Amino acid sequence: MAVECFVTGGSGFVGQHLLARLSATGHKTWVLMRNPENIASLREQVGQLGGNPANIHAVAGDISRDGLGLCEADRQCVSRVSVVFHLAAAFSWGLTMERARAINVQGALRVARLAASLGVRLLMVGGYMVHNLAFLGRIGVDHECPENTDWPAVYSRVGGYEGSKLESHFAVIRYLQEARVDYTIVHPATVGGHSESGHILAGQPLVELIHNLARGRFKAVPGSARHWLPMVSVDYLVTLMTCVAFDPLLANRQVLALNEHTPSLPGLLEALAKTLGVKAPRRHVAIGLLRWLAKIPGLAARLQIRAESLNFIQTQRFDMSESQQLERKYRLTHPDMAQTLERTVHYVMAHLPG
């Protein structure tokens, strides 16, 4: 049944694909936009991604403002929605704790308050590292008693983006449990391009990785042969999001969106390099050494080392049994990873030469 939805972050990479899917399946969708004058180009883009532009409507606002900065008329517009999808985030490396908290933590709580005031489910996009309990322990997150966590210390270890995504995860759940409002959280791995078109937006971590490989900046593989950077294609991700958002049995549950057949990092670099027609790095460099080098002023920029991005390269494997059950229920399968990577590289080189 078609319903009305509210989406934050609809102009972003995952958001555009979510809008395409929601609008193509008949849902009238209100998108929170900091720049609502861009609605015509967003509609056009959503149309190109297979959506129905006529179902997309903008409301002006900003998650860093009280009440999301919604005017009374726009608040009325969104009062009939059945699900609030929260995707908006400051998603970049080098964020200060203050900025990351203002948008990713306080902003997420404002969106949760809107869902609570409407009495509807919040579908929030988190991040898969919350399922890596060894990582949480190492960086000082007490996942059983999150209020005991020294968050500034966590931010200093993992940076503004990841620190704020983890803090917002626990803060939003706590708020919604107290408010007795349903939520569903989808935790994606690093998001790859669309499995058919390869579509992806500039600024995504995978685009940066492809550019660095293409320019020969990758001199060595971070970590060992067992390290990997778990990925998921954007089309699988948004399909899963829309399935769980409307599933009554998925209230107050969390779901991992991750393709466990993502190759190891050496294999991933090899696959990308092959499509690019460049040589993949063969030597390995310890992640601890890269972190140490990244602390030397000026060197991180010269060597293009993003210390924060190294958090996502790991040997941890994830328990995918619940996601697999849902895949059977929704008849959903991950698209072929090799093909997705190949198409993403072609898309990046044709449209985002960098």
DSSP state of 264: B
Nearest residue to ligand NAP, by Cβ distance, number only = 12
Which residue number, 233 or 275, has a Cβ lying nearer to ligand NAP?
Answer: 233
Which residue number, 206 or 307, has a Cβ lying nearer to ligand NAP?
Answer: 206
Which residue number, 69 or 267, has a Cβ lying nearer to ligand NAP?
Answer: 69
- Please give the order of strands across the beta sheet that includes 183-188: 56-60, 28-33, 4-8, 83-86, 121-125, 183-188, 253-257
| Amino acid type, 88 | A
Which residue number, 49 or 63, has a Cβ lying nearer to ligand NAP?
Answer: 63
What is the spatial distance between Cα 159 and Cα 296, in angstroms, rounded to a whole number? 16
| Radius of gyration of the chain from its Cα atoms, rounded to whole angstroms | 20
Minimal distance, residue 309 CB to ligand NAP, in Å = 11
Minimal distance, residue 69 CB to ligand NAP, in Å = 8
Bridge-based pairing of strands 183-188 and 56-60 is unpaired
Minimal distance, residue 9 CB to ligand NAP, in Å = 4
- Buried b vs exposed e over 5-38: b needs ≥16 C-beta within 10 Å? bbbbbbbbbbbbbbbbbbbeeebbbbbbbeeeee
156: its two tokens: 């200093």
Site residues for ligand NAP per CB under 6 A: 8-15, 32, 34-35, 62-64, 87-91, 103, 107, 125, 127, 165, 188, 190-191, 201, 203-205
Which residue number, 67 or 288, has a Cβ lying nearer to ligand NAP?
Answer: 67
Minimal distance, residue 289 CB to ligand NAP, in Å = 25
What is the spatial distance between Cα 30 and Cα 58, in angstroms, rounded to a whole number? 6
Minimal distance, residue 297 CB to ligand NAP, in Å = 28
Minimal distance, residue 152 CB to ligand NAP, in Å = 20
Element containing residue 59 per DSSP (H, E)? strand 56-60
Which residue number, 47 or 216, has a Cβ lying nearer to ligand NAP?
Answer: 47
